[in-house]
């Protein structure tokens, strides 16, 4: 039996690159008090620190391919085993293949835990590409400055004046490949979780606030059902 606090949430955020998973996850983390676990962020940190995992993952990430399943499964098992994730978590970017999903399900079953919901952020391709190609990050404070709707490219970070850069995998050719990889390897998870009755599709279009309202409403309903 799952003996967690009935209000605690175990959630997967699913969706293509640029759907807004990271953006919404940071808000959910704050509002619902569950740790945001992003495999992409963890991997990028390993790449920066030049760890063994980072060196293995970098070649895949730079061309928009998925990092091998076993590396990711070990990484997630280690992260979810940490005390802050004992009651709940919000997974962003995991699972991304059927094998990852199946192994994760076994992992939860062995601990008598179960997922509450899988939120699918649904966004048209045209918007995905505009969001990704407009994303710039600040080298100093890490802020995400999206220039897609700005009239001109800012010279530096609006918050700290730091240098802006684009993620290596946000280059046009790599983005196209990431979208194809999503369709081929990750999209089958939509049916996988729909079949388990866990899938909730949320319209991911509109402003960040519009999407946040829909996501919050869906999660509050979920909490209400669990409580």
Binding site for ligand AP5 (CB under 6 A): 15, 17-23, 39-40, 43, 60-61, 64-67, 72, 93-94, 96, 100, 131-132, 135, 144, 146, 169, 178, 207-208, 211
CA end-to-end span of the chain: 15
Q: Least Å distance between CB 7 and ligand AP5?
A: 25
Q: How many CA atoms lie within 13 A of 14 on its CB side?
A: 27
Q: Which residue's CB comes closest to ligand AP5?
A: 40
Provide the strand spans (E) within 77-116.
Answer: 89-92
Q: Least Å distance between CB 160 and ligand AP5?
A: 17
Annotated catalytic residue 135: yes
List 79, 135, 200, 214, catalytic entry: 135
Q: What is the dihedral of CA 79, 81, 87, 90, to 10 degrees?
A: 20
Q: Least Å distance between CB 123 and ligand AP5?
A: 8
Q: Least Å distance between CB 161 and ligand AP5?
A: 19
Annotated catalytic residue 79: no
Q: Is the peptide bond before 133 cis (omega within 30 degrees of 0)?
A: no
CB 14 within 8 A of CB 22: no
List 44, 79, 96, 131, catalytic entry: 96
Question: Could you give the CA distance from residue 147 to residue 141 in angstroms, rounded to a whole number?
Answer: 17
Annotated catalytic residue 201: no
* Short-list 126, 75, 123, 124, CA closest to 96: 75
Nearer to ligand AP5, 32 or 60 (CB): 60
List 44, 178, 200, 214, catalytic entry: 178
Annotated catalytic residue 167: yes
Q: Catalytic site residues?
A: 21, 96, 135, 167, 178
């Amino acid at each position: 039996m799952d003996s967690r606090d009935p209000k605690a949430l175990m959630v997967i955020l699913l969706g293509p690159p640029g759907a807004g998973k990271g953006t919404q996850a940071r808000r959910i983390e704050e509002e619902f008090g569950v740790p945001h676990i992003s495999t992409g962020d963890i991997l990028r940190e390993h790449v920066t620190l030049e760890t063994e995992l980072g060196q293995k993952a970098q070649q895949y990430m730079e061309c928009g391919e998925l990092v091998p399943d076993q590396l990711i499964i070990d990484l997630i098992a280690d992260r979810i085993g940490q005390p802050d994730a004992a009651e709940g978590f919000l997974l962003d970017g995991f699972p991304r293949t059927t094998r990852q999903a199946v192994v994760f399900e076994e992992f939860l079953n062995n601990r008598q835990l179960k997922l509450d919901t899988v939120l699918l952020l649904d966004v048209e391709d045209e918007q995905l590409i505009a969001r990704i190609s407009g994303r710039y990050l600040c080298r100093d404070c890490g802020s995400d400055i999206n220039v897609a709707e700005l009239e001109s490219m800012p010279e530096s970070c609006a918050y700290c004046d730091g240098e802006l850069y684009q993620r290596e995998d946000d280059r046009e050719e790599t983005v196209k490949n990431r979208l194809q990889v999503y369709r081929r390897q990750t999209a089958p998870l939509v049916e996988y979780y729909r079949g388990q009755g866990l899938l909730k599709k949320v319209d991911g279009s509109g402003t960040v606030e519009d999407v946040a309202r829909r996501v919050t409403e869906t999660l509050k309903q979920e909490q209400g059902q669990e409580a």
